[in-house]
Structure 1
Amino acid sequence: MAHHFNAPCDQSGESCPLALASKSGQRERILHLHHTPKGEEYVNIELIPLLNAKGEQAYFVEKMESLRLTKGQPAVQKLIGRAPAFKRMLELVARVGPSEANVLLLGESGTGKELVACAVHESSLRAHSPLVVVECASLTDTLFESELFGHERGAFTGASSSKAGLVEAASGGTLFLDEVGDIPLPMQVKLLRLLENGTYRRVGSTQLRRSDVRIISATHRDLQAMVKERSFREDLYFRLSTFPIHLPSLRERSDDIPLISHALLSKLAPKRNLTVSKEALDTLQEHAFPGNVRELRNVLERSTLLCDGTVIEKEHIKQALGSILSAGTPANSEKSDEIKNLPLLELSKGQSLLQIEEEAFRVQLQAHRGTRSQLAEKLGISERSLYRKLRAFGYR
């Protein structure tokens, strides 16, 4: 059987579309994990009941479609997982993919927002057209407008020729706005115009152009809090968040760590056929992973360098994680002393989440004595995200 169950799927922990459609008399759609000759894959099953002349259920029309870029088992550049939180996310991806609705991906840094954006795009009718990524956090006001909408020759110093923007590059496809919460406020109104009526102007041009793109955006920020403090437009927020999807953190799906680890190791050391011992996996699953999959990848990469054999053991993982898990060791005591000596973060009543984040970031930055790379690792974020925050909070 495709499910590898000896009993019907509704008796083995999954919902049965036939049972649901029979009971409701309506179309039902379910996401199932199927076992195929190519491995495990998630399949979107749609069942439609048909009535006979007496108005009784007589037949069912079944439609099965694989959800692209997703796997129950490891594969390169795929969304991987079986945990309930992961599956709930995929069910939303399967539902919204074929539509034209704008999608807002919400979640911590390192949870795989770009991969989810790819899954939404690949499951849409626009899959034959490009998916164009816009790194919003790295663009200034002027650069953002030029990159997104393009510019005419002579529009500004250095514009020696006309240039099409990323909106034009994504024509017929999908535009993915990564870290949309970092878009400069003056530029938000121009993005809103694009969302509301599908029009825009190149920098230096009066000609109104039309676009045919679907918008997927992503952020780790609390956009609702930013709306309240007026650093993000409310009308733009509602345009972007037609269909929000929460991406679970690695803490919410720690049962997927063995699967993800196997997939990452096949990429990090493809010729070594490395495995991870049960004790090492237990150690990984006990760790909080504030940096999510990105942090897990870093830990595993360090572990491959520490391991001389074919099996990554618990000690390799503990050493890769640092002294966090080594309670009672001198290194851990030094870490505790370092934390005790950090300046106290004093919070004022009425502070917004963004202000609290900025103050906490300032405290960590002033107390840090190592490299920027070490600071990013300490904060559980990528170096790129660190430099984004440095720019956003006025540091260089």
Structure 2
Amino acid sequence: MTATPAPVADRDPVVLPELVSYLEGLPEPHIVFDRHYRIVAANAAYRAQFSPRASVVGRTCYEVSHRFDVPCDRAGESCPLARSRASGQRERVLHLHHTPHGEAYVNIELVPLRDARGDAAYFVEKMEPLRVAQGEPAAEGLIGRSPAFQAMLDLVARVGPSQASVLLLGESGTGKELVARAVHEASPRAAHPLVVVDCASLPETLFESEVFGHEKGAFTGAHAAKPGLVEAASGGTLFLDEVGDIPLPMQVKLLRLLESGTYRRVGSTELRRADVRLVSATHRDLPTMVAEGRFREDLFYRLSTFPIRLPPLRERREDIPLLAKALLERVAPQRRLALAPVALQRLAAHDFPGNVRELRNVLERAALLADGDVIGAETVARALVIGAPPTASRPAPPPSAAAPLARPARLRDAEREALRAAVAAHRGSRQDLARQLGVSVRTLYRKLRELDEGGD
């Protein structure tokens, strides 16, 4: 008696065995489903990652991936099947999927399979986990579920695999370095270095030497040749943080690097070639700086091939519970702290001009002030007061749609006035003042410089 061979995949018999066999050998998770969202085949990679214990054949894709009882587009998400039906072509979306290990962000690419009449009877869906972000508290990386966060993350997922220059735009404390790392790790350069250049902390006299390197004897004290950060990033990504602070003379040299991929060390005539992908970030208004002649227009357009705006925390308040839980585990890993519901409401009512960095500082203060395992609203309020400048007003309520354009200007004016008052009243070191304000020393120095310049 001949034994019946085992099926090569978890599949419905109506699907071509050649297609199933092909998908089974692919390393990325793939499923095939019909126009009614019913899964008819799943390869080994999918079963191992998303459903190792139960068959998915016969179930709908939205039930397996999201625990929804209706298609994604009827549950507030983008549905790749609906989009493909409308466009008649392949579609890509970013979704938050259920897995045996919790929820995870997944890049989805859907391709329609057409029959002899040109109708799409089946659809193949490829899933690639985006490992740089989570939809639940995690020890590291980007965390969020809000629409604003997911819109930003979708742009990261799309630009990551390319070679395009990326410009990250956002307020201080929104996590620009984390997003730069996410772009790097989503790229083919992920195995190579991500080198960070803190443009705000480099004086003009050292900028060229640090970034491009120098030869022996190029200037007083140059006792040996030194490669620059561009060379250190070879094969990887160069992240220029606070690119708006680069001196004008150095902007010309950076432009040459972007346009030709070449540069020279200080004191050398030899033209060197660079293999780097450039990601830059700023909190400044670069178009205004261009109009005022403080930033080169040609450099601005070279840097901003693919701009990504990072939403401030006040635009993603629904992420505060996730962020707060993860940050508490980071600032007090030896304790099992939790926030009372009223404490979370108190945090959600705060505008957080310092964004996620300020939230972390508030939670660290609250952890120090709390005696038990549950942090209450009074403790949070006390932590907020300790970190507020002496003349700062009470936290404003959540923004309304009544005045969407006037509010940011009022916030900036209030912040500048509060900072002036704090500086005038403070008698300690700059480090102590930064700690009192709940910002980093680097951010404090930058804000003080903006006060001196009278800028934003």
Q: Is TM > 0.5 for Structure 1 vs Structure 2?
A: yes
Residue 182 of structure 2 aligns with an amino acid whose one-letter code is: A
Check the 8 A contact 2:66/2:98 in 1, yes or no: yes
Query: Is 2:86 the counterpart of 1:23?
Result: yes
Question: What's 1:289 paired with?
Answer: 352
The match for 2:25 is none
Match of 2:311 among 208, 233, 248: 248
2:424 is the alignment partner of 1:367: yes
**CA–CA distance in structure 1, aligned partners of residues 147 and 415 of structure 2:** 34
The answer to whether the 8 A contact 1:299-1:321 is kept is yes
Q: 1:32: Cα distance to partner?
A: 0.5
Letter in 1 for 2:441: E
Cα distance in 2 for partners of 1:278, 1:362 equals 31
For structure 1, which segment, 182-191 or 358-367, has the greater mean C-alpha deviation from structure 2 after superposition?
358-367
CA distance in 2, matches of 1:190, 1:134: 15
Counterpart of 2:363 in structure 1: which amino acid? L
Aligned alpha-carbon RMSD (Å): 2.7
Which of 377, 384, 391 lines up with 2:442 in the alignment?
Answer: 384
The residue correspondences of 1:206-355 to structure 2 (distance < 5 A) are: 206-322=269-385
Query: Cα distance, 1:125 vs. partner?
Result: 1.3
Percent identical: 66
Structure 1 residues 286 and 119, CA gap change in structure 2 (3 angstroms): same
Task: Between 222-231 and 10-19, report the one with greater CA deviation.
Answer: 10-19
Amino acid at match of 2:338: T
Secondary structure of 1:205's aligned partner: coil
Match of 2:76 in 1: 13
Q: Give the conservation status (yes or no) of the 8 Å contact 2:157–2:183.
A: yes
Answering whether residue 60 of structure 2 is matched by residue 3 of structure 1, we say: no
CA contact (8 A) 2:248 2:295 kept: yes
Count of residue correspondences = 373
How big is each residue's C-alpha offset from its partner over 1:130-152, in whole Å with a ceiling of 9 and x where there is no partner?
11111000111231111111111
Q: Deviations over 1:7-49 (max 9, x none)?
A: 2222221121112112211111111001112221111101122
SS of equivalent residue, structure 1 residue 69: strand
Q: Distance in 2 between matches of 1:122 and 1:238?
A: 24
Deviations 1:263-304 (A, max 9, x none): 001111112110000000000000111101111111111111
Alignment partner of 1:68: what SS? strand
Deviates more, 1:44-53 or 1:298-307: 44-53
What is the Cα deviation at residue 365 of structure 1?
6.8
Whole-angstrom distance in 1 between the partners of 2:120 and 2:452: 65
Deviation at 1:6, TM superposition (A): 2.4
1:138-149 alignment runs, 5 A limit: 138-149=201-212
Cα pair distance change 1:245/1:73, threshold 3 Å = same
Amino acid at match of 1:385: T
Gaps of 5+ in 2: 1-63, 394-412
> Within 5 Å, which residues of 2 pair with 1:156-235?
156-235=219-298
Greater C-alpha radius of gyration: 2
2:270 is matched by which residue type in structure 1?
Q
1:44 corresponds to which of 107, 130, 135 = 107
Q: Determine the C-alpha separation between the residues in 1 that align with 2:377 and 2:435.
A: 21
Equivalent-residue separation in structure 2 for 1:254 and 1:219 (angstroms): 23
2:130 to 55, 67, 74: 67
What SS does the corresponding residue of 2:65 show, helix, strand or coil? coil
- Give how far 1:77 is off: 1.6
Partner of 2:51: none
Cα separation, partners in 2 of 1:357 and 1:130, compared to 1, 3 Å: farther
Q: Distance in 1 between matches of 2:438 and 2:333?
A: 26
Distance 1:324 1:176 in 2: 30
Return the letter of the residue paired with 2:302: R
For residues 269 and 52 of structure 1, what CA distance do their matches in structure 2 show? Answer: 58
Q: Structure 1: 5+ residue runs without aligned partners?
A: 326-330, 337-355
Question: What is the letter of the counterpart of residue 424 of structure 2?
Answer: A
- Paired residues of 1:52 and 1:58 also in contact (CA < 8 A): yes
Contact 2:204 2:247 in 1 (8 A): yes
Contact 2:386–2:436 (8 Å) recurs in 1: no
Contact 1:133/1:176 (<8 A) preserved: yes
Query: Match of 2:149, SS?
Result: helix
What TM-score do the two structures reach when normalised by structure 1? 0.87
Quick check: 2:416–2:451 contact (8 Å CA) kept in 1?
Answer: no
Change (3 A) 1:304 1:379: closer
Q: Which amino acid aligns with 1:217?
A: S
Deviation at 1:252, TM superposition (A): 0.4
